[in-house]
Structures are given as C-alpha cells and as structure tokens.
A = this chain, B = another copy of it.
C-alpha cells in the first residue's frame, strides 16, 4: 500500500498523487478530487520517513528538558507542541533527568532523526554536544544563556522585574530578614534568579547574610532542606523566596512539619506559577513566568532564525503565603490587647 497503489486506483501518475497530497495548486481540481477519493477509500497514509528522506525535511523539532516530573515542563511542552502542530511540525521530547549521559543520548537521537531545530530548556549543555548540533547547521534556542554562535538564539527572561516586585512586596509588608532558596548552580536560569534577588535586595538597602542563601536544586526535597537549614539559624528569616515553585512547595511542607504556620509565622514566595501553586493551602504567592509563552517563542525562533525572539516577562502574583512578619503582628497584638487578630 503505497503512493503507486493510489496512483493506479485513481488512474494518474505517482507525481500527481504527490502533488495532490502536497496541495500543489497546479493540479486539476477534478483530478485532485478523484485522488482524494482513492486515498480515502484505500486508507492510504503517506510514509513520513520516505518524504523526509527525499525532501531533506523531517518536520521535526526537538525540545530538551531536564525533568518532565517538574510540572513547569509539561506546561512548557504543551505550549511547544501546540505551537509546533500549528505550524505543521512534530515534537521530539528529550528528558535528561539532569544526567549528562542522557543529555548526550538526547542530542544523538535528535541528530539521527534530523530535527530541524532544538530548544534546550535545561541547564546549559556541554560545549562538544552543542558543537555537534551546530556543525549540522541545526538552529538552536536557549533560555537566558546563549553561547555566541550563529544559528543560536536566546529567549531572555526578565527575572529582575518579577523578583523586584516580590522583594518590594515583602519590604512593604515589613520584612527585613529575607532568605532565598536557590536552584542548582550549573543551571543558568537559577543563577540569574539568585542574582536578581541579590540586586533587588541591595536596592532597598537590605543586607542578606550568606547563611540566608541556601543552595537547593529545584526539587521539593531541596525546598525542605532549605527550610531545615534556615530554621536552624539562630536568627531565622521572616520571609523566604524560592527559585521555583517546587522548591516553595517543599518549603511549605517543611515549615508545616516544623509547626510553623504560613504566612503568620513566615512568608513564602515561589517562582514559575505552575498550575498547582494556586491550589496549595494556602495558595502560593509566586512570580509568574509563562512556560507556554517561552515555548511559543522557542518554536518561532527555531523556524525563523533571523528575527530574535521577544523577551519573556515575569510578574508577581500575590496570593496567600505572604503577610506582615510575625514580630509585627505580635507587637500589634500587644498594643491592641487582642488575643487574636483576624
């Protein structure tokens, strides 16, 4: 069952069938109709491999992510896939699991399948792997960090804005002891978030002791460990910002395990605004960065290497994990003589 079968059934040449399938305008509508009918009747499905082989176009786009289990990535993938399908492409997903060897496998697979572009949405990539991609002239797109090579574009995320808003928000509430649970250092976007935090804090004249910066790993476990560390300090922070929502969720868990209530005893802010955050109890205040936007930008960038992708913004979404610091409340209580506020 191939294109010849259809050609024969419709009484035309294979070239005509090919033209019909590819919607080449020059074909006689009557003939086209006949061909479509044969296709329908025979249940013919063109063989993508053959098409790709001869045309040199795989119609395949790769995305490399680190951990499909972090809800941020499915959202991103969904956005990527939606956009890709929209422009007639398919998506090859590679999940590295933060493992270098798997990353290598991913790249190899992408190469073998002759993808027409790959979006690297993970902690950097080894130089040699990158070169292999680059040497095949495959367009690439990165988040934040962009090795300066042609064919490589970067989606810049304005971490500053959202993080600045968050720090302001905390400062206005009266917090002076702000901590930060960061992501893995090798992950550029994590480093950028930490930097943004540092500069935002600087700006309002606050000093953050190094012990208030905990190096996590963007997992719930990292968040838990971060809180354990922070709580063990002689003077714990009154507010914690996290490098991503998964970390914040882990933090909530550890905080609650420690018998602390959020936001009464301690304020918490996440980053990403994954869908589940809104449904945490209490709903998580976080900084929104749209995975879908990033993904859509990525697809566009891969297909049109000439126009640089537009930046992605971040912004604070205030929900219910932030309030005035415990001390303030205690003072208020004493002053007003009420046993319980609220």
Contacts and interface: CB of A to CB of B under 8 A. Distances in A.
Interface of A: 43, 45-50, 52-53, 58, 68-69, 71, 73-75, 77-78, 81, 85, 90-93, 95, 105, 108-109, 111-114, 132, 135-136, 220, 249-250, 252-253, 256, 275-276, 279-283
B111 A45 contact: yes
A48 B280 contact: no
A218 to B, nearest CB: 14
Top 4 A-B residue pairs of the complex, sorted by shortest distance between their CB atoms:
A49-B52, A45-B111, A48-B112, A49-B49
Interface of A is mostly: helix
6 contacts: A49-B49, A49-B58, A49-B113, A49-B114, A220-B275, A256-B282
Nearest to A90: B109
A69 B275 contact: yes
B85 A105 contact: yes
Contacts of A276: 71, 249, 276
Nearest to A253: B279
A47 B53 contact: yes
A164 to B, nearest CB: 28
A280 B250 CA distance: 9
B74 A78 contact: no
Contact of A253 (B68, B78, B108, B281): B281
A47 B78 contact: no
A47 B112 contact: yes
Contacts of A253: 279, 281, 283
Nearest to A48: B112
A250 B280 CA distance: 9
Given A43-B135, A256-B281, A281-B252, A74 B85 contact: no
A49 B48 CA distance: 8
B81 A48 contact: no
A58 B58 CA distance: 14
Nearest to A281: B281
